[in-house]
Structure 1
Amino acid sequence: MNILMPTIFHPYTGGITYHVDNVIKHLTDISPYNFHILNYNFQGELKKLPPNTWVHKVKYIKGIRGPTYTFMGYSIGKKLIEKYNIEIIHSHYAFPQGFLGALLSEKYNIPHVLTLHGSDVLLLSKHPVGKILFNYALKHCDRIICVSKYLKEQLPREYQDKSEVIYNGVDFSIFYDEGIDEDYGLFVGSFVPQKGLYTLIEAVKDIDFKFKFIGDGPLFREIREYIERKGIKNIQLLGRKDQMEVAKYIRRCSFLVLPSTSEGLGMTLLEAMASGKCVIGSNVGGIPELIRDNYNGFLFEVNNVEMLKEKIEILVNDRELRRKLGKKGREFSKRFSWEGVAKRLDTIYREVKGDRLI
């Protein structure tokens, strides 16, 4: 089966790239799928790709990336559909990818599956213009996949019947309990406002314990300058790391913190649990679907610096509790597998293709 997939992908890093990479790897284990990815343009060539995967670069103009990706992607997408007999379009993120998928689906009467990952539902759909684009993508798709119950609950009522929840999986080959605790707290994620980094910085700046932040983004330079200006010595900014490096830092940390103000699910929480680590997360979005307070970690109220500081200090001062909560998290994480995600997607692909033939 030939699948056209408008999505961000390697060499770009992040949760969607990681999700798509794992989905493709496990789907090709089930059936001889071929994937044609419409990715944002990038320099050079990719050294390694999943099986049966071709990446097609879509040029865009910086500052108007979404509209120009849609315009250029539509032209490339039409050629790919006609050349490779595309049978299903599976878009990741509502705009521009889902919007582009909807346009191509309408033109060629091809089934369209749309996976919503978080900020498209929580932020894009609330924007006056973004809402129009978001609703068009949802209207013109056969099936909607949400990565958490919380995201599904945010969708308009008319789309509830064709939407379902499929949680992300965990790659247990790199996220596992190594039995090592090197006495540092960890944050992994994008340096964007909704990750709540300033709340975390204020909570930990006076704690006698090391903290490492992995990631980059629009706020990276601002946060680095803030840390230097305030003379904060216990926070180390490591910048962007590849997946293998991230996994190593997670396996060796004491605990992981996700202080988001908005979050679709929070994949780093699952990865930390799979590595036998306890976690702390804000009580928002899909995070409470993963953290059971006082069972596999702690929840704190959004932007509550004192509450977060209190939870962190509990773990800093009790290595045995860290281990105990981490073991429970490890057991909890076992229900999230990429094999399960791929099996369900394989069924969905066959269902939507069959529905169009009726």
Structure 2
Amino acid sequence: MKEYFVKMRVIILGQYPLDMKKIRGGVETCIIGLVNELKKYSDIELHVITKEIMWENITKVEDNVTIHYLASPPLPRFVTIKTIDQHKTIKKIKELKPDVVHAHMTAGPGYCALKSGFPNIVTVHGITKEEYDPKIRPGLLDTIRRMVAVPMEDYVFKHAKVLTVVSYYVKKNIKPFCKGEIYIIPNGIRNEFFEIENNEIENMLLFVGGIEPRKSLLNLLKAVKIIKKEIPDVRLHIVGSVRKQRYYNSLVEYVNQNNLNDNIIFKGELSDEEVKKEFSECSVFVLPSKVESFGIVLAEAEACGKPVVASNIGGIPYVIDDNETGFLVEYGDIDGFANKILLLLNDKNLRNKIGIAGMEKAKQFSNKDIAKRYYNLYNAVIHNGKRK
């Protein structure tokens, strides 16, 4: 008698690029890596639901994955998140009738996953209340975003039965508000970061991330000014899109006023291959953030064998082992940040030693292992019949 094999239907809900050459941010990077591994499982029917600013829905089928790009009008996200986007997302989930929905982020995807009524897992990549703290984002639009997103996040924390978080820091901070189970599963690194060649250009620093106040780039520019006194040809490449124009303008003004034009280069938003080239050529990777739940770029730097100097905040200590795979500096200690960078730039053997340790550390963030953990969790959620 012929046996019939029933696949597990899984929906990944969250940011996913229309153009793989243009990857937007850490969450999107993590979802891509997870999808690339899950599609190798013969017993999974994999779907991705994402939104894209356009006028008509697009569905692509490629490499055992069906990607549903839901059209979203060119309006501020706080306008569409609880109206058009929510309606379309829940409708599509119900059409697909999944065994489990895996939502990335609370406000938006997580909220829709719970409202759909299907078994679900919500991954908390960052805490909205922190990322939209008025001290970091005081503007009117950010205030409106906070007013819309925080209640959605609160709903997810209160009603989700299974959540995953990217670091112990996130778990500790959301646990008092959650009733469900919380598992720590870090963000994964795409395999190609382990294969990037080291084409180091001496005295080259690299920052990758959005240009916004919570990344504290002004502190980094001040550190470069200190470093320049000892290493005049030090260079910092800042890779990432401008998310706050006024903040970016203040950075450019500081560069001009302090004669740092030859030392600091704003590279803008680069393609995936161009970003990898920047990783390949840097001597030290730097991240001076004030708020960071994980910092996937840190793990990517480790995978490339690059030493890191970063703020000792949030989930960063979960990724970087101080004095082993990099140096952690208390937030706001500009002199301390500059001194650690100088220590690395002046000692190639130390850079190599820390870089090797970082590559070993990064193995625990491999997408293959992360996907296996999620595969097991999907099965557990389905078999336990957990719902919203």
TM-score if structure 1 supplies the norm length?
0.90
Aligned equivalent of 2:160: 141
Question: Contact conserved, 2:129 with 2:150, CA < 8 A, in 1?
Answer: no
* Residue in structure 1 matched with residue 376 of structure 2 by the alignment: 347
Distance 1:24-1:288 versus aligned 2 partners, 3 A rule:
same
Match of 1:230 among 258, 264, 267: 258
1:195 and 2:215 matched: yes
Residue of structure 1 equivalent to 2:278: 249
- In the alignment, does 2:93 pair up with 1:81? yes
Partner of residue 332, structure 1: 361
Measure the CA separation in 2 of the matches of 1:195 and 1:292: 20
**Deviation at residue 268 of structure 1 after TM alignment:** 1.1
Partner residue, 1:53 = 66
For residue 25 of structure 2, what is the amino acid of its counterpart? G
Q: Relative to 1, partners in 2 of residues 1:78 and 1:314: Cα closer, same or farther, differing over 3 Å?
A: closer
- Tell me the secondary structure at the aligned position of residue 134 of structure 1: helix
- Paired residue secondary structure (1:186): strand
Quickly say closer, same or farther: Cα 1:216–1:158, change in 2 above 3 A. closer
CA contact (8 A) 1:6 1:39 kept: no
For structure 1, list consecutive stretches of 5 or more residues without a partner in the other structure: none
CA distance in structure 2 between the partners assigned to 1:117 and 1:189 by the alignment? 15
3-state SS of paired residue (2:237): strand
Aligned partner of 1:25 among 21, 28, 36: 36
Cα displacement string for residues 239-274 of structure 1 (whole angstroms, at most 9, x for unaligned residues): 111222212211221010010001011111111111
Change in Cα spacing, 1:353 to 1:46, as seen in structure 2 (3 Å) is closer
Residues 1:5 and 2:4 aligned together? no
Q: Answer with 289-298 or 301-310: which moved more.
A: 289-298
Cα pair 1:216 1:239 within 8 Å, conserved:
yes
Is the 8 Å Cα contact of residues 25 and 51 (structure 1) preserved in structure 2?
Answer: no
Given that 1:178 and 1:251 are in contact with CA atoms closer than 8 Å, whether structure 2 keeps it comes out as yes
Q: Offset of 1:80 from its aligned partner?
A: 2.2
Number of residues paired by the alignment? 353
TM-fit CA distance, 1:76: 2.0
Name the SS for the 1:29 alignment partner. coil
**Conserved in 2, the CA contact under 8 Å of 1:276 and 1:330?**
yes
Deviation at 1:71, TM superposition (A): 1.7
AA of the residue aligned to 1:216:
S
2:259 and 2:63 mapped to 1: Cα distance? 44
SS of equivalent residue, structure 2 residue 314: coil
Partner of 1:219: 244
CA contact (8 A) 1:102 1:136 kept: no
Q: Contact 1:170–1:337 (CA<8 Å) still a contact in 2?
A: yes
- What amino acid does structure 2 have at the position aligned with 1:166? I
Q: Please state how far the C-alpha of 1:88 moved relative to its aligned partner.
A: 1.9
Cα drift, residue 215 of structure 1 = 0.6
Aligned partner of 1:244: which letter? E
1:278 is matched with 307
Structure 2 residue identity aligned to 1:6? L
What does residue 141 of structure 2 align with?
Answer: none
Q: Identify the range of structure 1 (71-80 vs 309-318) with the bigger mean alpha-carbon deviation.
A: 71-80
SS of structure 1 residue aligned to 2:107: helix
Comparing 95-104 and 194-203, the one that deviates more: 95-104
Partner of 1:14: 25
1:196-215 deviations in whole A, cap 9, x for unaligned? 10010000024121111111
Q: 2:321 aligns with which of 287, 292, 301?
A: 292
**Does the CA contact (< 8 Å) of 1:255 and 1:277 recur in 2?**
yes
CA–CA distance in 1 between the matches of 2:356 and 2:61?
A: 34
- Going from structure 1 to structure 2, the CA distance change for 1:18 and 1:177 (only over 3 Å counts) comes to closer
Structure 2: segments with no counterpart, 5+ residues = 1-7, 135-145
Q: Distance between the aligned counterparts of 1:25 and 1:81, measured in 2?
A: 21
Provide the C-alpha distance between the structure 2 equivalents of 1:121 and 1:343, rounded to a whole number of angstroms: 31
Q: Using the TM superposition, give the Cα deviation of residue 129 of structure 1 relative to its aligned residue in structure 2, in angstroms.
A: 5.8
Q: Which shows bigger deviation, 37-46 or 306-315? A: 37-46
Offset of 1:121 from its aligned partner? 6.0
The AA in structure 1 aligned to 2:310 is G
The 2-side partners of 1:141 and 1:313 are apart by: 46
Among all aligned residue pairs of Structure 1 and Structure 2, give the percentage whose two residues are the same amino acid. 28
Runs of 4+ residues deviating >6 angstroms: 43-48
TM-score by length of 2: 0.83
